Structure 1
Amino acid sequence: MKLPEAFEEKMRLLLQEEYEEYLQCFEEPRHYGLRVNTNKISTEEFLKIAPWPLRPIPWISNGFYYDGDHVQPAKHPYYFAGLYYLQEPSAMTPASRLPVEPGELVLDVCAAPGGKATELGAKLRGTGMLVANDISNSRARGLLKNLELSGTGNLLITSEEPGRLLPHFPKFFDKILIDAPCSGEGMFRKEKKMVKAWEEHGPEFFSKLQRSIVTQAASMLRPGGMLLYSTCTFDPRENEQIIEYLMEACPEFEICGMEGYEGFVPGRPEFTEGKNPELKKTVRIFPHKMQGEGHFIALLRKRDLACQKPGDPDAGRTGGKGISRAGKQGTAGKKKLPEELDAFLGGLRTDIDPCRLEIREDRVYYMPEGMPKLRGIRFLRSGLLLGELKKNRFEPGQALAMYLKKEEYENILDLSVEDDRVIRYLKGETLEVEDLVSAGAKGWYLVCVDGYPLGFGKLASQVLKNKYLPGWRWMS
């Protein structure tokens, strides 16, 4: 392919004797990646049921290569059950290297379409809170779907310029991920159209935007917290120079080392003004050295220069750990719920704290603890949408179905993946299930494939009325 002359000159300077090897990788096929959603299934259990051959991605514990020329994982019921996410292998790296712990408050600043956010949500294991933001409202809608499909319920999805979030979340988050908009040089091999986009808006354009985003995000991180900055480009103006800018503007930040891999290339401080040797702790991924596209990653920690003592990682924190899925901390008096909602919740085999339930325009949400007031923020979803109240009845929603585990609901229709009713259910068809239920059974049933939820249906006379979300249906 024809590469811009300015780009070739820069890459020759960056790679020197390796430049020709880099060019040769443009003749090689792209790599397809699948990341197991450990929020729903362990990597070991998924490998037992995986429908196709998989090969481990060596630097991602739950990542695998698959043959994208011969299999279509997005056209399999396990995809609709949220058991995995399809993601370019190198793009899995940022979320894997941000050490998120259960109970933390986490922000993904530029989150759409959700590849990194879904992994951050899995790491939280239903606790704490994930705020996933994207300035584009249309992209944020796709982000919402992917997070709901993954079973993430402790979330807030916003669609704002990062600076507008700052007044609501000062020194709030334990961990922040910034996968910054960039010139996309690392994707040239995968998507040739990125070359034209680079010629229209190159590194200078994006570096100004990145400087704004990274300093705004830094103010939302609590002292002791960690920030991971990544791009899918090679240019030092968007990479090392952005980290240098952040550390000059916010001297409380220090660069951290991260779990390595033999193909990782250290950062290049010689391409910065200060030539700080600490920048060697940052990482580049080149497609001629690893089976993935190009990326840059930097992990930083925010010290408390005013009051932190050595070895005290939690000094000055304003976020909070220990927020449980059952929500038993910091609750007020029990709320009186509509009878139809109370009756449905009685069929759940998981703890729901009524103090965290919120009803807005007949929709029922289960809110994360620690949620600030949202007045003035444009958001698409706050909390887990449980369902809707409709004329003396409660209809459970798709997001709740994806959040639940099979054992957490009393009425289950569990279909084998070979059963043709699985695809028919995903297409929105009514199902006859007399072989699965007794003659008198009725009410809401959670439909599963091999034990993993797909959605709800309403049962009467051994016939299941399909309630699978229309916008998610299987398209032939």
Structure 2
Amino acid sequence: MELPVKFKEQMKGLLQDEYEDYLQSFDHERYYGLRVNTLKISVEEFLKISPFKLKPIPWTNDGFYYSSEDKPSKHPYYYAGLYYLQEPSAMLPAQVLPVDENDIVLDTCAAPGGKSTKLATKLNHTGLLISNDISSSRCQGLLKNVELFGCDNAWVTSEDLTNMEQHYPETFDKILVDAPCSGEGMFRKEPDLIKSWIEKDDTFYPPIQKNILNAAVSMLKPGGSIVYSTCTFSIHENEEVIQDVLDKHPDLHLVPIEKIDGMMPGINMEECVRLYPHKIKGEGHFVALLVKDGETKHKKVRLEPSDKLDDCVTDFLKLIHLNKGTIKVKKDKVIWLNTDFQAYKGYRVLRSGLLLGQLKGKHFEPSQSLALALCPEQFKNVLNFSIEDERVIKYLKGETLDVKDLDSKISGWTLVCVNNFPLGFAKLSKGSLKNKYAKGWRYQ
């Protein structure tokens, strides 16, 4: 792997005696990580059923290394949303942000969803998560990952933060800024980033990063916390960006991040953390935690009345137990909301709350996202396969199934599960399972 000369000179100046150790890290295989979805299963219970050889990632409470020989993206538990596949170092920023239940949280640059899904587990079905990314195309993958994780309290949006800043001053309790960057820390994992660095180097992103972070700070409540992170080593993109925001916001201050073996402090900023691939089992990262002076005040949520619902929706809702919230109908979509958060005119919202399903003429069809947000106890009709049953993969491929051996007296809409973890919906009639698994989610 040929690294740019300018980059090597910068790294040699940064690492000095450790520079050769850093270069040698490119000869080692990258590390693979998965993070357990504690919205669906505890870490302890997952370890009992996990088919993979897992070793704990030391800076998270729910992350594990797995072997490159494992194929977790092909396992039914992946389709049940029991874990998220994420580079180990990338798990640190959301772990560090001190999210409490009932917080209103903003993930500013959220796609593809690794950090948002972690923040959702911290909220634990309470409060609100605004999962935003300016790229509408990247938001499609973000939306799927949020839905796969069973997040029922999330909005997925695609907005410029400078627009949001005008409408949501001091609105959010916690904010995560995983800023776009030159990607120096990912050169081993994604060598194609080297070409991009040659074109833009580490001087292209700092103005963008400063704008994003300053806008985010304006939306942070007094007493709130904000994490700034990148996957790069450049001082221009890390410590200088932090210094810029500290200079512009005197009410902001750094908070020390607890360091474990291998973690390095920021350059002249001891509170921050730098991760280097020759020091830890993961790629390069920078993380800073800041707090705004003042006291946070939680606003009491007042839910609006639900919209008038068609009979087909009302009939379906008799099969389900939903938590307290508001049901709204937006064109043909039926959405469940747990907060009174309001979108301003022009705000690009892909999903506001949990999509229950879609009206199709006089019929209602429940969504894949609803299935993944449920526990079996919340739905009247449940069909459960064991993990060894070959029909699990057939269901995930969208096939119609013969289930006469499992069929009891239930019929109609049915929640299909594997080992009691929901996968999706189907219609059951006389021992035949008509598959309703979403086409865009199917097993490949």
The TM-score normalised by the length of structure 1 is 0.91
Q: Is the 8 A contact 2:304 2:340 kept in 1?
A: no
> Residue 461 of structure 1: CA displacement?
1.5
Which residue in the other structure is 1:343 paired with?
Answer: 315
Q: Is the 8 A contact 1:344 1:394 kept in 2?
A: yes
Q: Helix, strand or coil: the match of 2:270? A: helix
How many angstroms apart in 1 are the aligned matches of 2:360 and 2:189?
A: 48
How many angstroms apart in 2 are the aligned matches of 1:211 and 1:351?
A: 40
Which residue in the other structure is 2:272 paired with?
Answer: 282
Q: Helix, strand or coil: the match of 1:34? A: strand
Q: Is the 8 A contact 2:307 2:329 kept in 1?
A: no
Q: Is the 8 A contact 2:381 2:410 kept in 1?
A: no
How many angstroms apart in 2 are the aligned matches of 1:205 and 1:348?
A: 51
> Residue 259 of structure 1: CA displacement?
2.9
Between 1:231-240 and 1:343-352, the stretch displaced more is: 343-352
How many angstroms apart in 2 are the aligned matches of 1:289 and 1:332?
A: 52
How many angstroms apart in 2 are the aligned matches of 1:465 and 1:334?
A: 31
Q: Is the 8 A contact 2:97 2:289 kept in 1?
A: yes
How many angstroms apart in 2 are the aligned matches of 1:234 and 1:453?
A: 41
1:387 to 340, 351, 357: 357
Which residue in the other structure is 2:47 paired with?
Answer: 47
Count of matched residue positions in the alignment of Structure 1 and Structure 2? 444
> Residue 167 of structure 1: CA displacement?
2.2
How many angstroms apart in 1 are the aligned matches of 2:249 and 2:177?
A: 16
How many angstroms apart in 2 are the aligned matches of 1:131 and 1:333?
A: 22
> Residue 335 of structure 1: CA displacement?
5.0
Q: Which amino acid aligns with 2:128?
A: M
> Residue 240 of structure 1: CA displacement?
0.5
> Residue 379 of structure 1: CA displacement?
1.8
Which residue in the other structure is 1:241 paired with?
Answer: 240
Write the deviation string for residues 116-175 of structure 1: whole angstroms up to 9, x where unpaired.
011111111111111111111110110000000000121111112211111222110000
Q: Is the 8 A contact 1:168 1:372 kept in 2?
A: no
> Residue 176 of structure 1: CA displacement?
0.3
Write the deviation string for residues 48-77 of structure 1: whole angstroms up to 9, x where unpaired.
000111111111111111111x11110010
1:459 aligns with 2:390: no
The percent of aligned pairs where both chains have the same amino acid is: 51
How many angstroms apart in 1 are the aligned matches of 2:101 and 2:400?
A: 39
Distance of aligned partners of 1:205 and 1:333 in 2 relative to their CA distance in 1, 3 Å threshold: closer
Which residue in the other structure is 1:31 paired with?
Answer: 31
Q: Is the 8 A contact 2:238 2:286 kept in 1?
A: yes
1:445 aligns with 2:435: no
Q: Is the 8 A contact 2:306 2:327 kept in 1?
A: no
Q: How does 1:254-273 map to 2 (within 5 A)?
A: 254-269=253-268
How many angstroms apart in 2 are the aligned matches of 1:418 and 1:86?
A: 23
> Residue 260 of structure 1: CA displacement?
2.3
Q: Is the 8 A contact 2:302 2:340 kept in 1?
A: no
Q: Which amino acid aligns with 1:152?
A: C
How many angstroms apart in 1 are the aligned matches of 2:344 and 2:415?
A: 32
How many angstroms apart in 1 are the aligned matches of 2:108 and 2:338?
A: 19
Which residue in the other structure is 1:217 paired with?
Answer: 216
How many angstroms apart in 1 are the aligned matches of 2:306 and 2:144?
A: 31
> Residue 334 of structure 1: CA displacement?
6.0
Which residue in the other structure is 2:116 paired with?
Answer: 117
RMSD (Å), alpha carbons? 1.4
> Residue 290 of structure 1: CA displacement?
0.2
1:80 aligns with 2:50: no
1:428 aligns with 2:418: no
Between 1:238-247 and 1:372-381, the stretch displaced more is: 372-381
How many angstroms apart in 2 are the aligned matches of 1:179 and 1:97?
A: 12
Q: Which amino acid aligns with 2:223?
A: G
1:415 to 385, 390, 394: 385
Distance of aligned partners of 1:268 and 1:102 in 2 relative to their CA distance in 1, 3 Å threshold: same
How many angstroms apart in 2 are the aligned matches of 1:211 and 1:177?
A: 14
Q: Is the 8 A contact 1:155 1:368 kept in 2?
A: no
Q: Is the 8 A contact 2:312 2:363 kept in 1?
A: yes
Which residue in the other structure is 1:474 paired with?
Answer: 443
How many angstroms apart in 2 are the aligned matches of 1:391 and 1:51?
A: 44
Q: Helix, strand or coil: the match of 1:22? A: helix
How many angstroms apart in 2 are the aligned matches of 1:4 and 1:205?
A: 16
Between 1:7-16 and 1:233-242, the stretch displaced more is: 7-16
How many angstroms apart in 2 are the aligned matches of 1:334 and 1:402?
A: 23
The TM-score normalised by the length of structure 2 is 0.97
Q: Which amino acid aligns with 1:28?
A: H
Q: Is the 8 A contact 2:266 2:273 kept in 1?
A: yes
Q: Helix, strand or coil: the match of 2:52? A: coil
How many angstroms apart in 2 are the aligned matches of 1:117 and 1:46?
A: 21
Q: Helix, strand or coil: the match of 2:206? A: helix
Q: Which amino acid aligns with 1:13?
A: G
